[in-house]
Amino acid sequence: MTDTKLQQEIRTALEVVDPDTFDAQAEAERRVDFLTRYLRETGLKGYVLGISGGVDSSTGGRLAQLACERIRSEGGDATFVAMRLPYQVQKDEDDAQKALEFIAPDEVMTVDIGPGVDALWESTLAAGLRSHLDEKAEFHKGNVKARARMIAQYTVAGARGMAVLGTDQAAEAVVGFFTKFGDGAADLTPLFGLPKRRVREICRWLGAPESVVDKVPTADLESDRPLIADEVALGVRYEIVDDYLEGLDVPAEDEATIIGWYRRTAHKRALPVTPDGFLQDRGTPADQ
């Protein structure tokens, strides 16, 4: 039987939406309103978000575009910049273009992170890292890619007086499936609290084509395992993760996998460790 006490603690911590009252239209409107009010109250000039072609960035991007349009309809000034951040050539570039067509962003900016990532990686190897690498070398380089993408987004946002959006949702948050200070870094997370299936429902309601809604989730960070599915890397299906987040009983083996990830990646969901907080269980930053 699922440990319902811990399950509820996790659901509360991650602000998981109530599946019994969930309504895609209402939830989309709530999140567009959140993004609109933030711009209105801060005076920032819009949002920046990296678009991969997956359902999360597609949903987040469309919500941001709608918020910026709403600000302009009020006489304000707001722009949504969708950034394409390929490492050289993205293998599923066609999917990214379909996502952009759906989002209809005010601007599209493309930055190839390849040269910068390769230069930094090679310099780090030459400085002495090479002897410490093992079969997970491409995993570590993949995290460099994720962090480089966020550097580019913050560079644009800083120069233009904008905020950077993140696509963290509840299913990725509970298992820590994001790079610390990479795609996990952002100013606002408009999808927070949504299980993966609920993100899909919102994306579908917003009018995305099924190819975008049902695209197999992949971080696509490891060159030796291109387009490896998230579920393969995690060892558990998002459907099961969503069931767990929505308070349902899940198989014991899957529950153990989810809880294992949740505890090991606690450091990703926490502020930097402080002296007084050192004894708290924050997980280990071994997998960043």
254 is catalytic: no
Beta bridge partners of 108: 82
CA distance 43 to 37: 10
Q: Could you give the angle at the alpha carbon of 36 between the alpha carbons of 34 and 39, nearest 5°?
A: 110
The first and second tokens of residue 56, run together, are 């999360």
Three-class SS state of 257: helix
Please count the other Cβ atoms lying within 10 Å of the Cβ belonging to residue 227: 12
Most distant CA pair in the chain, distance: 58
Tell me if residue 56 is catalytic: yes
Question: First and final CA of the chain: distance in angstroms?
Answer: 31
Measure Cα distances from 163 to 15, 126, 129, 174 in Å. Answer: 22, 35, 34, 24
Choose the catalytic residue: 27, 56, 183, 220: 56
Catalytic residue among 92, 172, 201, 220: 172
CA distance 183 to 150: 7
Q: How far apart (Å, rounded) are the C-alpha atoms in residues 218 and 107?
A: 25
Cα separation of 176 and 1, whole Å? 24
Residues with catalytic annotation?
56, 172
